[in-house]
Amino acid sequence: MTWFGLSRKRWRSLVTTIGLFSICLFLVVSCGGSPSKETSETASPTADNGRVSVGTTLTVRTLDPADAYELISGLLLYNMGDRLYTYEPGTTNLVPQLATELPTISDDGLTYIIPTREGVTFHDGTPFNAEAMAFSIKRLMENDGRPAFLLADRIASVEATGENELTITLTAPFAAFTSLLAFSGLTPVPPESYEIGDAAFKPDSFVGTGPYKLAEFATDRVRLDANEDYWGEAPANDGIDIQIFTTPANLYNAFTTGALDIAYQTLDPEQISSLQKDSDAKGWQVIEGDGSVINYLTLNQKTEPLNDVNVRKAIAALIDRPLLNERVFQGQADPLYSLIPSTIKQSKPVFKDAYGDANTEEAKKYLEEAGFSESNPLVLDLWYISTSTTNNVAATVMKASMGQQLPGMIQVNLNSVESSTAFENLGNGLYPTFILNWYPDFYDPDTYIEPFMDCDKGSEATLCEEGQSQAGGSFYYSDRAIELVDAQRQAIDPAKRDEAISEIQDVLAEDVPYIPLWVAKDYAFAQSGVDNFTIQPTQQVLLWQISK
């Protein structure tokens, strides 16, 4: 899930090699076929023993909640641990979990008083209480792991003000704080088994309060056993066996030969299409979920001619999202018209309303206003990560589409760079444009706003010199945008917050520091005897609900 660690503030992206999709180039790379003997991996055939086998290509770096910041780690922690708050299954309704009620918030929005549940024990038998929760929050803040900034920049103090009462004081009002408390890494751990200290992590073990205990952790597999002493809903299975494959082809073959109950994260579009096509005949279940990972184009306003808003608007008008969905994803994505995806209620399709798709006449008008013509064409350098086949294909399609729309008036040059080099140089302004991806930290519109529109130091004359938009390569600075970001964060009235979020999206469409592109859908496949595997609206998976 991580982008790169430029500071305690973050940029998370899927431009790494563990992206949600690894698109195959037609006629160049073969997908979905049988792996060679040298690359073949095996999984034990599924057995009706009450355990469920799940295959994935995502690797688990750590199970320590103070350092875990990847998709697969978050999924495992979500099922082995609990949080103060969670989401009612099948909805986006925030409900208490280890808390017994929603927090009592002071009038100034700074103090949260949270009653905690009694009678809960950790996997090792030690009791959970408010002190353990306070310890775990402090540990996440102070151990300086990858997600530390989520709390360290926002919490002034946290303490147990009673055996079953937690009090958290913020540095500034933050309207999304209760939603943040549902972040997968905010699962408590017992103070007796963990410590607070810089980089004092336990990557290959986990003790929590959730419905599963960690039974085995290896590079190619993770086994979870049902927690017989769980305080909440008992798992509908005896355990989960997660097999980690090195390639989508091996995952695909393991599932199609019946060696897995479930295939999830990640299959190539060709393989997804094949499984969908054969699902009726084979009895396979197709589980589709709305994606939460946004893909967008960042535009560096410190470079010419992208410092001209008319050029940025012209590029926005030239983007053909339906074509990208057809050519790159075979219909397995949704067009994105705001940085806030449509799965979040505050989303507005501002780029569709302002520019549409492949709006050639509008793009020509903007370019002419910027002084470009067939005798003076716009030269646009489009960058992407060299290991991301998805973005390679997307960039190729975008180049061809723009050239066909305005032949002679625009020249697109494609460039790629290795991910670590890109991450080091993006904030230095070396790239005029870049195709990037973004994971949300938690389920709230703020996580799609503040990282893009905020800046700690700068001006509209100098642009962003230090802060989120500088780190992300756009260098965007707007006094109004910063004012609106602060307003939506500090709003106590939800209606006032929604108004600020709405206007932020309008400002985004007018200033065009970023161009939203697509959201890839989330797919999983299950054998016919598997029940209740679902992808939640919050993009989590509740392993304890699965039965077979």
Encode pLDDT of 533-543 as tens digits: 999 999 899 99
The model's pTM: 0.89
Residue 25 has pLDDT above 50, yes or no: no
188-245 tens-digit pLDDT: 999 999 999 999 999 999 999 999 999 999 999 999 999 999 999 999 999 999 999 9
CB 71 within 8 A of CB 517: no
Q: Say how far apart CA 341 and CA 448 lie, in whole Å.
A: 8
| Beta carbons within 8 Å of 78's beta carbon, 6+ residues apart | 184, 187, 540, 541
**C-alpha to C-alpha distance for 548 and 10, rounded to whole angstroms:** 40
Tell me: the pLDDT tens digits for 134-143?
999 999 999 9
Per-residue pLDDT for 42 more than 90? no
CA distance 483 to 454: 9
Q: Where are the alpha helices (DSSP H) in 169-224?
A: 177-180
Between residues 153 and 259, which one has the greater pLDDT? 259
CA distance 69 to 95: 23
Q: How confident is the model at residue 43 (pLDDT cuts 50, 70, 90)?
A: low
Confidence of residue 44 (pLDDT cuts 50, 70, 90): low
Q: Is the pLDDT of residue 49 over 80?
A: no
Q: What are phi and psi of 210, to 5 degrees?
A: -85, -175
Give the CA distances from residue 155 to residues 136, 158, 167, 259, 466, in Å, rounded to whole numbers and listed in that order.
Answer: 13, 7, 11, 47, 22
What are 467-482's pLDDT values in tens digits? 999 999 999 999 999 9
pLDDT at 41: 67
pLDDT tens, residue by residue, 373-429 = 999 999 999 999 998 888 999 999 999 999 999 999 999 999 999 999 998 899 999
Identify the H or E element spanning 398.
helix 389-405
Average pLDDT, the chain: 91
For residue 99, what are its two tokens? Answer: 């808390």
CA distance 238 to 223: 11
pLDDT tens digits along 56-76: 999 999 999 999 999 999 999
108 pLDDT exceeds 50? yes
Residues in contact with 80: Cβ distance below 8 Å, sequence separation at least 6, in sequence order: 63, 187, 206, 208, 210, 211, 212, 213, 214, 224
351 and 539 in contact (C-beta within 8 Å)?
A: no
Would you say 426 and 434 are in contact if contact means Cβ atoms under 8 Å apart?
yes
Distances 52 to 79, 255, 302 between C-alpha atoms, Å = 14, 13, 52
Please give the radius of gyration of the chain, using alpha carbons only, rounded to the nearest integer. Answer: 24
Of 183, 157, 172, the closest CA to residue 83 belongs to 183
d(CA 278, CA 443): 34
